[in-house]
Amino acid sequence: MSGSVGKSVPRLDAEPKVRGEAVYGVDFELTGTLYAALVLSPVPSGRIIGIDTSAAAAQAGVRAVVTAEDAPDLRSGLALDDEPLFASDTVHYEGEPIAAVVADSLKAARRAVSDVIVNIEESPPVASLEAALTEGAPLVHENWETFAPVPGLPEWPRQGNVVGEMTADPGGVDEAFAGADHIVEDVFVADRQYQAYLEPKSATAIYEEDRYTIHVSHQYPWNVRSRTARALGVNPSRIRVIGHHMGGGFGARLDVGLEPYAALLARLVRAPVKLVFDRSEDLLTCNSRENAIIRIRSGVMNDGRIVAREFLCDMDCGAYATDTVFLISIPIFLAGSVYEVPSTRVVARAVYTNTTPTGAFRGVSGTYLNFALERHTDNLANTIAMDRREFRIRNLMDDGHRMLNGQILTDAGIMRTAFAEVEAVAPWADMGKGPNRGVGMAATLWLTNPAPGQVTLKLDVDGTLGVITGASEIGTGAVAMGVRQIAADELGIDPRDVIVTMPDTDVQGHDGGAQGSRTTHIVGRAVREAGTGLREQVVRAGARLLGELPDDVEIGDGHVSVKGEWNRRVTLAEVATQALYDVGPLVASGSYATPTPKYDPDTAVGLLFPTFPTPTYHVHIAEVEVDPDTGLVTVLRYVVVQEVGKAITPEGVIGQIQGGVAQGIGYALYEGLQIGEDGRYRQRTLEAYRVPIALDVPRVEAVLLEHPDEEGPHGAKGAAEPPIVPVAAAIGNAIADATGGAINRIPITPEDVLDALAENRED
Amino acid sequence: MSAEFSMTVNGRTVTVDVAADETLLHVLRDELLLTGAKEGCDEGECGACTVLVDGKPVDSCIYPAPAAAGRTVSTIEGLVGSDGSLTPIQRAFVDGFAVQCGFCTPGFVMTLTALIEENSKPTERDIREALSGNLCRCTGYSTIIDAVLTATEERS
């Protein structure tokens, strides 16, 4: 066969999934399993006076009730060691674990949870960014100075409730503002967004031979290993993590969740322990996308040039730092890119509040940063009465664009091609015409996560190819299709003859997880590295079998054949079988991690995530209609032009675009996870928290712009994460166009639409 | 309070003895070890637990198990033919890239199986309305809708 890369091949894991046979983390059971449930803080802030576990412990079927006293006295985290397993003297958010119950059945464990009596002296919560940043605000953590960065990470600016501050100020910004014809200032606010994967979180652990084995459905088993090890105070090699099918994640399964608890409990009760969240527990404790406030000010000239910018962003990390201190680096990659802005100052802060810790969600922070930047871009164009598309083209970056971190984008000019492709499919002049209709555009760049990956390839005696990798299949098909196809092409075999392992940290080399669209790019590249070694071995073994020199044979169509004599050939099965006893099994390994792009570390302070590797380029256009009576928004048409390097599986990439846009539509229009003044979530179920249904999402049109990357396997870059990034901006711009009013909040509710219409009538 | 009753599950009569307030989903998953139906929300919102009772799709997570007494229950495990072959809907899901993480898939397939039983040529609008109780967080629904259109075109 002529190779499977670039073709849409059958997705092999779809069969067990459509039959209901696939075993997800929550379906997995070990013999003799006990079940656990967590006691979660009912209040967002307060001092624990006492915990009475006696009534719970006396319940039928209860094996153990565990509190902070039974856990290692440690704090740990992704960036800052600030989070204990169980709260002991104070609680910092509603939902913070206080105790755990282990029982014979899940029902018994959940019943006993309500019998654990926790006496808390409540204190007023710091419930919002504004409250946390007010002069003299109460400290979420009075002992914040005692928290240390995780080993290997340098200190960064932090003070009180501000757990991280990133500043990039190149100088001369105020002078540039002074020379501007107009200065436009906007404030944007975004609510939280809950990942709402369909499979709630769970973990099953067993403790044997002084080691912990944890069964998960997780995006990043190696992070489960290291984070569980640090939470329990043991070496990482004492933790083994085994992955199962995963019911979505979208970022929420990147940090640890229930795994350290399951591991600790399994040791304490000396039996397998399964811990499962119900949906309301899952929503309450999930590291949702952070809420944020963005203040953006730009100087613009009458001829359309943007000459100065200030970009200030506050992100709510909740009660613990999690990964938000990394995310405050993201604005410097976006605020001065896509459009040339010669002079830009950026200050971004991560802020503690008495709310659930936030964290990674597909398009981390990019969704609201792009919303702010592209809504503001429309406002700049409108200020100087220039067409919004023309204004964008006027300011577009080109090859050699220098980002605010000093990193050079050698191929940024592809963005012009992307704008032209959009125009070809959805001409600007034809979109958004008619009463109550509007059109909006948004463009962004996004990264491909650089984290390392490793692959071992083995040619089996029946001619099938084993791919031993720790990569996790989150649902995108990056493993089920992409990695499998790339591996198949190494030997010219059918992808159906490629067998890929599930993650097991005892078996494979480190894998950086299903995050940031890295799997096809990084693991695919590791496959190619391993393939080079394996092909060499296969050629040598095949030549020996054919009685030829290695230089005179070649691999193709499942055979090794003599060059120029296609009928003198042996099957890969014959080669592998014979080699077994001649030279041993045919096995080769490959590793890859993206080299850090060159950048200038002096451009910013507090830059913990310093570069934006393997960037991709994106332009979206949306056409909407608003109902002037109800304020409801219908997305009539949505077009994505996405630069992908090379599409290994085109249908797979299109599926990521359609799904990412659907999540973006939810974010733009429905999905506000809001915090009341009492510090509690207002939406607490999937009924109250509304994700898009089939009636809400149009047929998304996707154009894949191929532009092969030198480092990627067959030129592939990341593709799955970024389609969500520009959606709220494109829709927000379209609604602003349709209504003639300001759209400055995410989600854009029917009330916001009616307000915007009323504002326009007043003008 | 416990309840002992019989029902037909995927063509076999089964008798179970469970707590009277037990849901059909837990009986299927925990007693009968049919784990194809998933628990996504436990409140009848997400549709991942959809099974057919007397041919009608129900959210088995909020369906009291004893209410299934004497009835016919179909789950995803019962759809495939005796030779293991997929139904046209299942086939179209696989071929049409309508499965990503797949956790919602059994529920979608059951809802759609009931739909085309009632309406062999559903329009796109019919399909979207029938699916209003099934959440998919991965696909954006387009491939699923196309899979149904493909399956019903091939049937006719």
| Other beta carbons less than 10 A from residue A30's beta carbon | 16
Residue A645 pLDDT greater than 50, yes or no = yes
In this prediction, residues A54-79 reach a mean pLDDT of 98
Give a yes or no: residue A59 inside a domain.
no
Give a yes or no: residue A256 inside a domain.
no
Q: What is the pLDDT of residues A191-232, one digit of tens each?
A: 999 999 999 999 999 999 999 999 999 999 999 999 999 999
Output the average pLDDT for chain B.
96
The closest CB to that of A199, out of B38, B132, B141, belongs to B38
* Residue B9 in contact with partner chain A when CB distance is under 8 A: no
User: In sequence order, what DSSP letters do the residues of A148-204 get, joined into one string?
Assistant: EEPTTPPP---BTTEEEEEEE--S-HHHHHHT-SEEEEEEEEE-BB----SS--EEE
Considering the domain architecture, whether residues A463 and A431 belong to the same structural domain is answered as no
Output the average pLDDT for chain A.
97
Alpha carbon A5 to its chain centroid, in Å, reads 25
* Residue B139 in contact with partner chain A when CB distance is under 8 A: yes
Give a yes or no: residue A525 inside a domain.
yes
ipTM of this predicted complex? 0.98
Task: State which residues form the domain around A531.
Answer: 14-21+450-592
* Residue B48 in contact with partner chain A when CB distance is under 8 A: yes
**Chain A residue numbers touching B80 (CB-CB < 8 A):** 19
Inter-chain touch B94–A26, beta carbons under 8 Å: no
Residue A566 pLDDT greater than 90, yes or no = no
Considering the domain architecture, whether residues A441 and A468 belong to the same structural domain is answered as no
Inter-chain touch A686–B135, beta carbons under 8 Å: yes
3-state secondary structure of B76: helix
CA dihedral over B9, B14, B20, B25, signed as positive or negative: negative
Domain boundaries, given as residue ranges, for chain B: 2-77, 88-155
Considering the domain architecture, whether residues A422 and A493 belong to the same structural domain is answered as no
Q: Please say whether the beta carbons of A270 and A207 come within 8 A.
A: yes
3-state SS of chain A: helix, strand, coil percent to 5? Answer: 30, 25, 40
Considering the domain architecture, whether residues A568 and A661 belong to the same structural domain is answered as no
Residue that terminates a domain, selected from A592, A613, A635? A592
B2-77 and B88-155, same CATH topology: no
Q: What tokens does A197 get?
A: 């994967």
User: In sequence order, what DSSP letters do the residues of A488-547 get, joined into one string?
Assistant: HHHHT--GGGEEEPPPBTTTSPP---S-TTHIIIIIHHHHHHHHHHHHHHHHHHHHHHHT
C-alpha distances out from residue B40 to A204, A427, A479, A666, B134, Å: 18, 42, 24, 18, 10
3-state secondary structure of A244: coil
Among chain B residues, the shortest Cα distance to A472 is held by B101
Name the E strands within A191-243.
202-208, 211-216, 239-243
In this prediction, residues A412-427 reach a mean pLDDT of 98
More confident residue, B1 or A605: A605
What are the residues whose beta carbons fall under 8 Å from the beta carbon of A99, sequence distance 6 or more?
A: A38, A39, A51, A53, A65, A66, A67, A86, A116, A118
Give a yes or no: residue A111 inside a domain.
no
Residue A77 pLDDT greater than 50, yes or no = yes
Considering the domain architecture, whether residues A310 and A441 belong to the same structural domain is answered as yes
Q: Determine the pLDDT at residue B103.
A: 98
Q: Determine the pLDDT at residue B137.
A: 98
Q: What is the pLDDT of residues A113-129, one digit of tens each?
A: 999 999 999 999 999 99
Number of domains forming the structure of chain A: 2
Q: Please say whether the beta carbons of A664 and A727 come within 8 A.
A: yes
One-letter identity of residue A23: V
Give a yes or no: residue A349 inside a domain.
yes
In this prediction, residues A378-397 reach a mean pLDDT of 98
In this prediction, residues A295-304 reach a mean pLDDT of 98
* Residue B40 in contact with partner chain A when CB distance is under 8 A: yes
- Would you tell me which residues 278-317 of chain A have a C-beta closer than 8 angstroms to some C-beta of chain B? 278-279
Considering the domain architecture, whether residues A439 and A299 belong to the same structural domain is answered as yes
Report the candidate in B133, B130, B128, B107 with the shortest Cα–Cα distance to residue B117.
Answer: B130
Give a yes or no: residue A335 inside a domain.
yes
Inter-chain touch A17–B102, beta carbons under 8 Å: yes
Considering the domain architecture, whether residues A418 and A473 belong to the same structural domain is answered as no
Q: What is the pLDDT of residues A260-298, one digit of tens each?
A: 999 999 999 999 999 999 999 999 999 999 999 999 999
* Residue B85 in contact with partner chain A when CB distance is under 8 A: no
Q: Determine the pLDDT at residue A762.
A: 74
**Chain A residue numbers touching B145 (CB-CB < 8 A):** 694
* Residue A691 in contact with partner chain B when CB distance is under 8 A: yes
User: In sequence order, what DSSP letters do the residues of A98-138 get, joined into one string?
Assistant: EEEEEESSHHHHHHHHTT-EEEEEE-----SHHHHHSTTPP
* Residue A11 in contact with partner chain B when CB distance is under 8 A: yes
**Chain A residue numbers touching B38 (CB-CB < 8 A):** 24, 26, 198-199, 247
Considering the domain architecture, whether residues A445 and A463 belong to the same structural domain is answered as no
Residue that terminates a domain, selected from A560, A592, A624? A592
Say which residue the tokens 């310093």 belong to: A610
Q: Angle CA(A477)–CA(A652)–CA(A590) in degrees, nearest 5? A: 50
Q: Reading across the β-sheet that carries B50-53, which strands appear in turn? A: B12-19, B2-9, B72-74, B50-53, B56-59
Considering the domain architecture, whether residues A737 and A715 belong to the same structural domain is answered as yes
Alpha carbon A588 to its chain centroid, in Å, reads 31
Residue B155 pLDDT greater than 70, yes or no = no
Q: Please say whether the beta carbons of A730 and A709 come within 8 A.
A: no
Give a yes or no: residue A77 inside a domain.
no
What are the residues whose beta carbons fall under 8 Å from the beta carbon of A112, sequence distance 6 or more?
A: A37, A56, A57, A59, A61, A62, A65, A101, A103
Inter-chain touch B99–A17, beta carbons under 8 Å: yes
Give a yes or no: residue A605 inside a domain.
yes
Report the candidate in A396, A370, A400, A343 with the shortest Cα–Cα distance to residue A603.
Answer: A343
Strand partners of residue A414: none
| Other beta carbons less than 10 A from residue A363's beta carbon | 30
* Optimal mutation site among A11, A29, A35, A198, interface B, most CBs of chain B within 10 A: A198
Residue B15 pLDDT greater than 60, yes or no = yes
Report the candidate in A728, A743, A623, A620 with the shortest Cα–Cα distance to residue A670.
Answer: A728
Q: Determine the pLDDT at residue A763.
A: 65
Inter-chain touch B103–A27, beta carbons under 8 Å: no
Say which CATH class B88-155 falls into: mainly alpha
Residue B156 pLDDT greater than 60, yes or no = no
Return d(Cα A418, Cα A396) in angstroms, integer: 11
Q: Determine the pLDDT at residue A179.
A: 97
**Chain A residue numbers touching B143 (CB-CB < 8 A):** 655, 658
Among chain A residues, the shortest Cα distance to B75 is held by A20
Say which residue the tokens 């001065």 belong to: A336
Considering the domain architecture, whether residues A462 and A353 belong to the same structural domain is answered as no
Considering the domain architecture, whether residues A605 and A749 belong to the same structural domain is answered as yes
Shortest distance, CA B118 to any CA of chain A (angstroms) = 20
Considering the domain architecture, whether residues A379 and A506 belong to the same structural domain is answered as no
**Chain A residue numbers touching B141 (CB-CB < 8 A):** 658, 662, 693-694, 697
* Residue B46 in contact with partner chain A when CB distance is under 8 A: yes
* Optimal mutation site among A7, A17, A472, A634, interface B, most CBs of chain B within 10 A: A17
Return d(Cα A585, Cα A164) in angstroms, integer: 51
Q: Please say whether the beta carbons of A132 and A161 come within 8 A.
A: yes
Q: Determine the pLDDT at residue A520.
A: 98
* Residue A200 in contact with partner chain B when CB distance is under 8 A: yes
Among residues of chain A, what percentage have pLDDT more than 70?
100
Give the number of A-B residue pairs with CB atoms closer than 8 Å: 163
Confidence of residue A8 (pLDDT cuts 50, 70, 90): confident
Return d(Cα A456, Cα A437) in angstroms, integer: 54
Confidence of residue A726 (pLDDT cuts 50, 70, 90): very high
What are the residues whose beta carbons fall under 8 Å from the beta carbon of A236, sequence distance 6 or more?
A: A225, A226, A229
Return d(Cα A754, Cα A626) in angstroms, integer: 9
Confidence of residue B1 (pLDDT cuts 50, 70, 90): confident
Q: What is the pLDDT of residues B69-121, one digit of tens each?
A: 999 999 999 999 889 999 999 999 999 999 999 999 999 999 999 999 999 99
Report the candidate in A703, A661, A617 with the shortest Cα–Cα distance to residue A424.
Answer: A703
Q: Please say whether the beta carbons of A172 and A165 come within 8 A.
A: no
What are the residues whose beta carbons fall under 8 Å from the beta carbon of A284, sequence distance 6 or more?
A: A40, A94, A95, A356, A681, A684
Count CA atoms closer than 13 A to B32's CA, side-chain side: 28
Report the candidate in A742, A737, A735, A746 with the shortest Cα–Cα distance to residue A756.
Answer: A742
Q: What is the pLDDT of residues A442-455, one digit of tens each?
A: 999 999 999 999 99
Domain B2-77 belongs to what topology? Ubiquitin-like (UB roll) (3.10.20)
CATH number at residue A674: 3.30.365.10
Residue that terminates a domain, selected from A592, A617, A642? A592
In this prediction, residues A684-691 reach a mean pLDDT of 96
Q: What interhelical angle do B105-118 and B142-155 show, nearest 10?
A: 40
Confidence of residue A1 (pLDDT cuts 50, 70, 90): very low
